[in-house]
Structure formats: C-alpha cells, structure tokens
C-alpha cells in the first residue's frame, strides 16, 4: 500500500519526503485554509517537492465550473490530481476531465455505490472517508472492503482505492489489510506507526547493558 500525506504543510511534506515515505499528497479546502497561504502557490510548491500525485480540490458545485477549475488546477503542474466531490455533477466532471487525460481523485465518498459510479466515470482515485463514517458510529473500513470486492469483480475498473479520513494507526493497518491501494495519512499518524512501548523498553535495556561493556562501535 502506498502512502499519501494528508496535509498542505510544506515543511512537513519536505521532511517526510526526505525520509522516503511520501508517494503523493492530498489537500482539501480546509487543509489549504489552515496554511493561510494562496491556494495555487501552495499546490505549486508541493508539486515541486514530490514527484507523485498532489490532490487539489475544486470548489465549484456545478459540472461546468468543476471542469473549468479542474483544468486550471491541472495547469499548475503535471502531477496535480484534480479532486471532485462524489456528487452527480462531480461524476460528470470526473468523466470530462479523465477523458481529457487528467488525473482525477473523487473525494467525499461514503458508499460503495458512489465508488462504483466514480470508477465508471474514469476516476484515477476514489477516496472513501473512513474516519468520518466511524464518527457517526458506522464502519468506515467496511466501505473500503466493499469497494475492493466491487473493483476486483470487474477488471475493467482501473480506479485505485485511496483510503481517506485516516485518523489512527489502526486505520492504516486495517486499510492495508482491506486491500486499499493507498492510504492518505496525516503526518502525526504516520509517525505513530513507528511507535511501540516494547521497542522503547527493549532499546533502553539493550543500551544500558551496552554502556556496561564500555565499548563503542565507532
Ligand atoms: C483526503 O483527501 C481528505 O481530505 C481527508 O482525508 C479528510 O480527513 P478528515 O475527515 O480527517 O478531515
């Protein structure tokens, strides 16, 4: 499973990219607002930092507006993935933009049927929002599993499953086990994947014993 980073914070992206963990980046209007910077500048800078897809979301609600915005966003850099919502207009915009050869991420997906429509409309990525479903007491990961089954049952569907709204390390593990192609992970959650108390405890005792030897490797 590939890792996208769910942030518009360019300092975080640079640091995680240098560590080799960034296959792509996803942004949304809320993440852009958090930066306090102009949208196009942020997207351009992220696209220069990494080679993989960088999702930039349209804000128009109608199909013509989404297509026009999507074309403009795609002109910022060749690795922009235009993000459109899982609405009827969004699916039509997805078809138009993907037919023109653009990379399209269909976002705000909360059901397997929306994912089926997105794939039939030529989406490059479908983004089921796991955490927001869990917030309502529903099972977000079950939607990822349903989409995996539907896409595997029809080999003509080429859309990649991008597990989104990932909030915990458990979500990351479950997305990988459910067959998601990609998880988009907030930086803090990505760092949490390395943590285990037994690793910390074991390291402390190994190093305490090592100190007793009085040796140095270098
Ligand atoms: C990704 O594309 C989404 O914008 C993001 O994962 C949403 O996450 P949230 O539900 O934690 O805001």
Structure tokens at 155: 């080999």
Apex 187 CA angle, 192 and 159, nearest 5: 105
Exposure letters 47-81 (e unless 16+ CB within 10 A, then b): beebebbbbbbbebeebeebbebbeebbebeebbb
Residue 83 sits in a domain whose CATH number is 3.20.20.70
pTM to 2 decimal places: 0.97
**Whose Cα sits closest to atom 10 in ligand 1?**
165
Residue 177 lies in a domain: yes
* Residue having the nearest C-alpha atom to atom 2 of ligand 1: 26
pLDDT score, position 103:
98
Structural domain including 103 reads 2-213
Minimum-distance ligand 1 atom for the alpha carbon of 105: 2
Average pLDDT over residues 122-151: 98
Which residue's CA is minimally distant from atom 1 of ligand 1? 164
Nearest to 21 by CA among 206, 192, 214: 192
Confirm whether 62 is domain-assigned: yes
pLDDT tens for residues 8-57?
Answer: 999 999 999 999 999 999 999 999 999 999 999 999 999 999 999 999 99
Asked whether residue 59 is domain-assigned, the answer is: yes
The whole-angstrom separation of Cα 19 and Cα 42 is 21
Catalytic residues: 83
Q: Is residue 218 part of a domain?
A: no
Q: Which residues line ligand 1 (CB under 6 A)?
A: 6, 26, 28, 107, 127, 129, 131-132, 164-165, 167, 184
Q: For position 1, what pLDDT does the model report?
A: 98
pLDDT band, very low/low/confident/very high, at 148 (cuts 50, 70, 90): very high
Q: By percentage, how much of the chain surpasses pLDDT 90?
A: 100
Which mutation among 43, 166, 184, 187 tests ligand 1's pocket best, with the greatest number of atoms within 8 A of CB? 184
**What pLDDT is stored for residue 133 in this prediction?**
98
For residue 172, is it within any domain? yes
Q: Exposed, middle or buried, 181 (CB in 10 Å: 0-12/13-18/19+)?
A: middle
* Residues whose CB falls within 8 Å of the CB of residue 146, separated by 6 or more in sequence, listed in order: 112, 115
What's the structural domain count of the chain? Answer: 1
Q: What are phi and psi of 57, to 5 degrees?
A: -95, 135
Residue 22, pLDDT score: 97
Q: Where are the alpha helices (DSSP H) in the chain?
A: 10-18, 29-35, 39-49, 63-74, 88-99, 112-120, 130-135, 140-153, 169-178, 187-192, 197-213
């Amino acid at each position: 499973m590939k890792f996208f980073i769910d942030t518009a914070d360019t300092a975080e992206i640079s640091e995680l990219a240098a560590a080799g963990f960034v296959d792509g980046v996803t942004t949304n209007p809320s993440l852009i607002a958090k930066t306090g910077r102009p949208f196009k500048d942020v997207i351009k800078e992220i696209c220069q930092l990494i080679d993989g897809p960088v999702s930039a979301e349209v804000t128009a609600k109608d199909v013509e507006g989404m297509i026009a915005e999507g074309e403009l966003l795609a002109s910022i850099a060749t690795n922009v993935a235009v993000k459109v919502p899982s609405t009827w207009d969004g699916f039509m915009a997805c078809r138009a933009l993907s037919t023109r050869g653009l990379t399209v991420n269909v976002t705000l997906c909360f059901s397997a049927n929306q994912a089926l429509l997105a794939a039939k409309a030529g989406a490059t990525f479908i983004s089921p929002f796991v955490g927001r479903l869990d917030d309502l007491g529903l099972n977000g990961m079950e939607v990822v599993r349903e989409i995996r089954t539907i896409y595997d049952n029809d080999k003509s569907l080429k859309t990649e499953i991008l597990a989104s709204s990932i909030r915990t390390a458990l979500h990351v593990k479950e997305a990988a086990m459910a067959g998601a192609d990609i998880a988009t992970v907030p930086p803090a959650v990505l760092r949490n994947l390395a943590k285990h108390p037994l690793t910390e405890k074991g390291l402390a005792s190994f190093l305490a014993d090592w100190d007793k030897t009085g040796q140095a490797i270098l």
